[in-house]
Amino acid sequence: MTTSHLTHITEPPGVAPATGYTQVVTGTGRLVQVSGQVAFDEQGNLVGVDDPKAQARQVFENLRRCLAAAGAGFEHVVKFTFFMTDIAYLPAIREARDEYLGSLPLPAASAMQVVALFRPEVLIEIEALAVVPE
């Protein structure tokens, strides 16, 4: 599927179909790398203590704001990397992602459970890679 400057290859020949992400995304333009975002609000307070759904929503809001600061949006994201302290949080992350991306083609993604993030109450961290057309 081609969306302006990006091409999403969901099923490359010889690779098992993916669920919840695209296998390959390629494109041309300006690269935007967003550092891992966590669920801090504008004042630096953690949103959603012990609540992965609330944390995931705040993380995606922070990603939206970071992308906007670079002249980008979720339509430009080619890859997400999800870090979580429990893989059981993945459905909450995908739900928040779907709220923010709507019907946009899904980017490539990696998801991993980690022993800990930089503070014990932080459950989720997500980074994004985007390509914005020139």
Q: Are 84 and 90 in contact (CB under 8 A)?
A: yes
Alpha helices (H) in 3-134, listed in sequence order: 52-69, 90-101
Q: Which amino acid is at 126?
A: I
What angle is formed at CA 76 by the lines to CA 44 and CA 103, rounded to 5 degrees? Answer: 95
pLDDT-derived band at 38 (thresholds 50, 70, 90) equals: very high
What's the pLDDT tens digit per position in 45-91?
999 999 999 999 999 999 999 999 999 999 999 999 999 999 999 99
Q: Which helix (H) or strand (E) holds 7?
A: strand 6-9
pLDDT-derived band at 127 (thresholds 50, 70, 90) equals: very high
Residues 6+ positions from 78 with CB-CB distance below 8 Å: 6, 25, 26, 27, 107, 108, 129, 130, 131
What is the model's pLDDT at position 48?
Answer: 97
Which among 64, 81, 86 has a CA at the least distance from the CA of 21?
A: 81
- The predicted model scores a pTM of 0.93
Residue 34 CA to residue 132 CA, distance in Å, equals 13
